[in-house]
Amino acid sequence: MQNIVAGNWKMNLTSDAAESLLKDIVAKATGVSCQFIICPPFPYLSIAKDLIDGHPNIALGAQNCSNKTSGAFTGEVSCEMLKSSGVEYVIIGHSERRAYYNETHELIGEKLMRALENELIPIFCCGENLSERKAGSHFDVVSSQVKESIFDFLSKDQISKIIFAYEPVWAIGTGETASPDQAEEVHQHLRQCLIENIGDDGNQIPILYGGSCKPGNAKDLFQQKNIDGGLIGGASLKADDFVQIGRSF
Ligand code: PGA
C-alpha cells in the first residue's frame, strides 16, 4: 500500500506565505517515496495547483466541501468546483468541523457522496474526544462515526475508495500524541470494521494517524502494522518538518 502524508494547513497563512511554503515543500519532497497531499485553504488551491503541477508525488486536496450539488448556497464550495480546479482529495468529517460547525454524521455522509460522485478521494476523519477516551468509549465512538456516515450510506465499491484518518481529538493541536500502541489499537479496530463490511478489500484501505504527529514521533507511529501514514496539522506548516515526516516510513 502507498504510504501517505497529508498536510492540513487549516485557516493559516497569507497568499505569499502559502506560495513560499509550497515552493519549499516542492523542492524538498522530490525523491521522497511517499505520496504527499497538500490541503491549503480554498483561495490558494489554484496557486497550489500551478506550483505542484507535474510533481510526481504531490497532490492537491481541499479541507472541506459542500453537501449540495450546486445553486443558491452562498459561501459553499461544491465538489464539482473542486474537481474542475484540479483537486483530487477532500478532507471530510474533521473534528473541528464536527465541533465548531455542528456537522452531523448524516451531513458528513452526504459530503462523502458528493465527493465520490465527482471522483474526489475523501479523507474521512474520525476519533474520540478527551472525555470519551477517559470513559473508555473510544472504540464505540469510532464505530458509530464510521457506521452512521459510511456503512449506512455507501456501497462496498464506494467505501473502498475512501482514505480513513484516525484523529483523537485530545491529541489535535495539543502537542499530546497518542502513543503508537494507543493509535494502533484503534487503527486495528477500524481495519476490522472495514473487513467486516467490505471483506478483504478492507486490507487495502489506507488508515492515517492525525494528532500532533511530528518528525520526532512519526517513525514510531508509522511502524505500526495498521498505520499507513499521517494527516498533519501544525507540522505541515514547516516544510522541513513536513517532508521529514514523509521520510519516516
Ligand atoms: P495537528 O492537527 O497535527 O496540529 O495536531 C492534525 C489535524 O487536525 O489534522
Query: Whose C-alpha lies nearest to ligand 1, atom 2?
Result: 233
Domain containing residue 172: CATH number: 3.20.20.70
**Sign of the CA dihedral with 232 first, then 123, 9, and 246 last:** positive
* Per-residue b or e along 61-76, where b marks 16 or more CB atoms closer than 10 Å to that residue's CB: bbbbbbbeeeeeeeee
Q: How many residues does the chain have?
A: 249
What is the pLDDT tens value at each position of the chain, 249 positions in all? 899 999 999 999 999 999 999 999 999 998 999 999 999 999 999 999 999 999 999 999 999 999 999 999 999 999 999 999 999 999 999 999 999 999 999 999 999 999 999 999 999 999 999 999 999 999 999 999 999 999 998 999 999 999 999 999 999 988 888 899 999 999 999 999 999 999 999 999 999 999 999 999 999 999 999 999 999 999 999 999 999 999 999
Q: Which atom of ligand 1 is nearest to the CA of 95?
A: 8
Does any ligand 1 atom lie closer than 6 A to the CB of residue 99?
Answer: no
Query: Whose C-alpha lies nearest to ligand 1, atom 9?
Result: 233
**Cα distance between residue 60 and residue 32, in whole Å:** 17
pTM value > 0.95:
yes
| pLDDT tens digits along 122-176 | 999 999 999 999 999 999 999 999 999 999 989 999 999 999 999 999 999 888 8
Cα 236 to chain center, whole Å? 12
Question: Is 138 marked active-site?
Answer: no
**Sign of the CA dihedral with 60 first, then 108, 199, and 167 last:** positive
- Residue 101: partners with Cβ closer than 8 Å, 6 or more residues away: none
Query: How far lies 142's CA from each of 150, 163, 194, in Å?
Result: 12, 15, 12
Does any ligand 1 atom lie closer than 6 A to the CB of residue 213?
Answer: yes
C-alpha cell at 171: 491529541
C-alpha cell at 247: 521520510
Pocket test for ligand 1, best of 97, 166, 167, 176 (most atoms within 8 A of CB): 167
**Cα distance between residue 63 and residue 42, in whole Å:** 8
Question: Is 167 marked active-site?
Answer: yes
Picking from 155, 136, 249, 139, the residue whose alpha carbon sits closest to that of residue 191 is 139
Taking the CB of residue 31, how many other CB atoms lie within 10 A of it?
Answer: 8
- Domain with 14 in it: 4-246
Angle at 213 between CA 226 and CA 78, to 5 degrees: 85
Does any ligand 1 atom lie closer than 6 A to the CB of residue 211?
Answer: yes
Q: In the chain, how many domains are there?
A: 1
Query: Whose C-alpha lies nearest to ligand 1, atom 6?
Result: 233
3-state secondary structure 135-170: CCCHHHHHHHHHHHHHHCCCCHHHHCCCEEEECCHH
Cβ–Cβ < 8 Å for 146, 193: yes
Does any ligand 1 atom lie closer than 6 A to the CB of residue 8?
Answer: yes
Burial of 134 (0-12, 13-18, 19+ CB in 10 A): exposed
